[in-house]
Amino acid sequence: MKKKLKIYVYAITKNESKFVNTWVNSMQEADGIYVLDTGSTDDTVNLLKEKNVFVTTKKYDVWRFDKARNDSLSLVPLDADICVCTDLDEQFLPGWRKKLENIWQKDTTRLGYNYNWHLDEFNKPLVNFYIEKIHTRNDYIWTHPVHEVLTYIGKDKENILFTDEITLNHYPDKTKSRSSYLPLLEMSVKEDPTDDRNMHYLGREYMYYKRYNDAIDTLIKHLKLPTATWKDERAASMRFIARSYKGLNRYDEAILWYQKAIIEAPYLRDAYLELALTYHELKNYPKVIKYCNQALKIKTKTKSYINEIFSWNETVYDLLSIAYFNTNKLPSSLKAINKALKINPNDERLIKNKNLIKEKFRASKL
């Protein structure tokens, strides 16, 4: 008979009272829930305690996510078989514990499972990938000040399993500031300039802050690192370089970098779509049609955080409808706008565009 596993959930939190009920309800299949509160000024702590969650409070003079994660992990009993790290804005689908017990093997050290990072208003996943925050108690520590990761410190060989049977959904607080990320990423890269993942994240963050020259320099550094071998992420860095050049109104260089991204990862839609969007801005409609149709040849969406939402929603058909309209291919334009509306039927701009296409099409028949 299989041994009953001791499974504990742990988390960090600060001022997340609105998530307490849904989070605890989702996590209560565990044998215990342990939370490190890092300085809440609302009623998060009281609400957690009312639900029999073990809570410890600790404030930090210098904030680092890895330090807080490790401190929260230290709350978990040492005899735990499995530790489950989540955030309060996340929810497991019911039945996760039983599935975890069935999947977990004697030599398993870590589990990757289905993570819906971005869902639409109907709870349909828009960005989905594997996340690996279920692990053994004493074989891992958290590293990096931000975008922290589990680092294996066990004596035996690490054994990571993956499953689609367990799903964790993410429902973020969109009002919450992420302003601390940039200085933490700068700290992380300073601590380890050879870490390709955080070099990529830092370059992306500079782009978000419109520090375009810093973004370009940093993302090129990422591409030059010998460990930067994941083609999806390399292509994303190339796209972010292109976006930065667009921010500097240097469109020729932007187009060059989008083309590099296509060559790097021709199986991803993103660079094709961004290049089509760029040609749309330049009113080069034949090129819009070319790259949209190339994007549509890609039918499989990879399971990766790299995927852009606009690559798989109505955008490609929206662009095609506009490009066909402006090249006087009205039947194709109408067909494309109908496909866009099938995906997003309530978009007022798309509805107006369809009416405009139909009017022009009728006029052309007179």
Tens digits of residue pLDDT in 267-285: 999 999 999 999 999 999 9
How does residue 286 score in pLDDT terms, banded at 50, 70 and 90? very high
The predicted model gives 286-297 an average pLDDT of: 98
**Bridging pattern class, strands 32-37 and 7-13:** parallel
- What does residue 141 show for φ and ψ, rounded to 5 degrees? -130, 155
- Please say whether the beta carbons of 93 and 27 come within 8 A: no
DSSP string across 231-254: HHHHHHHHHHHHHHHHHTT-HHHH
Q: Which residue did the predictor score with more confidence, 179 or 157? A: 157
What's the mean pLDDT when you consider all of the chain?
96
CB 73 within 8 A of CB 10: yes
pLDDT at position 366 over 70: no
Q: What is the largest CA-CA distance in the chain?
A: 81
Task: Check: CB of residue 276 under 8 Å from CB of residue 260.
Answer: no
- 354 touches 337 (CB < 8 A): yes
Q: What single letter denotes the amino acid at residue 322?
A: I
How far apart CA 188 and CA 218 sit, in angstroms, is 13
Q: Which of 54, 8, 55 is nearest to 27 (CA)?
A: 8
C-alpha to C-alpha distance for 345 and 122, rounded to whole angstroms? 14
Q: Which amino acid is at 271?
A: A
pLDDT at 1 over 60: no
| Band of residue 3 on the pLDDT scale cut at 50, 70, 90 | confident
- The per-residue DSSP string of 123-178 comes to S-EEEEEEEEEEE-SSSEEEESSSS-EEEE--SS---EEEEEEEEEEE---TTS--
- CATH superfamily of the domain spanning 7-170: Spore Coat Polysaccharide Biosynthesis Protein SpsA; Chain A (3.90.550.10)
The pair phi, psi for residue 169, each rounded to 5°, is: -100, 145
Q: How do residues 225-257 score in pLDDT, each as one tens digit?
A: 999 999 999 999 999 999 999 999 999 999 999
3-class DSSP state of 106: coil
Angle at 144 between CA 139 and CA 149, to 5 degrees: 45
Q: What is the pTM of this model?
A: 0.92
Q: Average pLDDT, stretch 74-96? A: 97
Task: Specify the DSSP class assigned to residue 94.
Answer: T
Report residue 198: phi and psi, to 5°: -75, -25
pLDDT at 362 (0 to 100): 85
Helix (H) or strand (E) holding 12, with range, is strand 7-13
- At residue 325, the 3 state secondary structure works out as helix
CB-CB contact of 85 with 111 (8 Å)? no
CB 343 within 8 A of CB 314: yes
- Domain spans of the chain, in order of start: 7-170
Categorize the per-residue pLDDT at 2 as very low, low, confident or very high, splitting at 50, 70 and 90: low
Which pLDDT value is given to residue 305? 87
Q: Look at the block and give the residue holding tokens 């601590």.
A: 191
Q: What is the pLDDT of residues 111-147, one digit of tens each?
A: 999 999 999 888 999 999 999 999 999 999 999 999 9
**Cα 256 → chain centroid:** 26
